[in-house]
Amino acid sequence: MQITATELSKLLNGTIEGNPNITVNRPSKIEEGGEGTITFLANPKYAEYAYTTTASILLVGKDFKATQPIAATLIRVENVYESLAFLLNQFGATQGQKAKGVIDKSASIDSAAIIGQDVSVGKFSIIEKGCKIGESTIIYPQVHIAENVTLGKNCKIYPGVKIYHGCEIGDNCILHANVVIGADGFGFAPKEDGTFEKISQIGNVVIESNVEIGSNTTIDRGSIGSTTIKKGVKIDNLVQIAHNVSIGENTVIASQAGIAGSTKIGKNCMIGGQVGFAGHLTIADGSKFQAQSGIGSNIKEPNKAYFGSPIMDYKDYIRSYGVFKKLPEIYRSLGRIEKEMNKFKE
């Protein structure tokens, strides 16, 4: 893809400062640059690179004020991150794509499966009986879709994904490599002799539309009923979601988070990496959790931020941590005071 500054500014509804005819054909990081690339400045921490970058075009916010000359042509936009997301989608539109409607001869598709128009199926993928695959969905190599799975239209299912029987996935979903949907929940009943008896997990997983799930994430089926991922949810790599969990609309979850069984997460929540939730909790809409936080009780008040394990109010945690760092110094000071008091007593 090759495009001029003028064409870019029209696409992004931006304004140009510099050469309107300069062309770019790929994006770059601001600190690396390179002739013929477009880069961006959204985080003030990288402002110094605006003056040294060798990129041809630099995307900046409308309120950016340069303190010295900049060699790159500037395109000023209202929201740098939104504009960047749009551009990356344009540059990446053809990367890694399979041709529509191509089913590899090595793929195994049951005769009772219903395959929509323009579905692509890669090498050695398996689609079992009773499955329904929506139009224009792309199934990459070595994917296993078990019996009676429903998969919506315009989905991308990357290599190694496993979708167990009876699960339902909506439209425009992306499942990255080695995602497992619908494995048994961790259900075992303790017996008198100290062993554990497996509890059958007879529910399923329901994933609504416009959900993206990162590599090696696992979502367990409900023991009874469904594990539910609502529309617009974005889940990072290496996340574990247990049986009968519900994740609300447009919630985002970072890598290595874990959610125990039957916990209900509200909509528009933000969950950092390695955050852990105990089971059977209810979490209010708009809750935000800093990385490595631990949640062991219900959260009823919406739109609050938390940190720590066990969690506390984010601002209280930051203030408390400031004191915690000084504890060794405070301890030494108390020791000196104790010595002086002992001398005084003597």
Catalytic residue positions, numbered: 243
54-57 long-range contacts (CB < 8 A, ≥24 apart) are: 55/24, 55/28, 55/30, 56/22, 56/23, 56/24, 57/5, 57/8, 57/22, 57/24
**What 3-state class would DSSP assign to 39?**
strand
DSSP secondary structure string, 164-225?
A: -TT-EE-TT-EE-TT-EEEEPP--EEE-TTS-EEEPP---EEEE-SS-EE-TT-EEEPPSSS
The two structure tokens encoding residue 69: 């000359």
* Torsion 315-316-320-321 (CA) sign: negative
DSSP secondary structure string, 99-161?
A: PTT-B-TT-EE-TT-EE-TT-EE-TT-EE-TT-EE-TT-EE-TT-EE-TT-EE-TT-EE-TT-
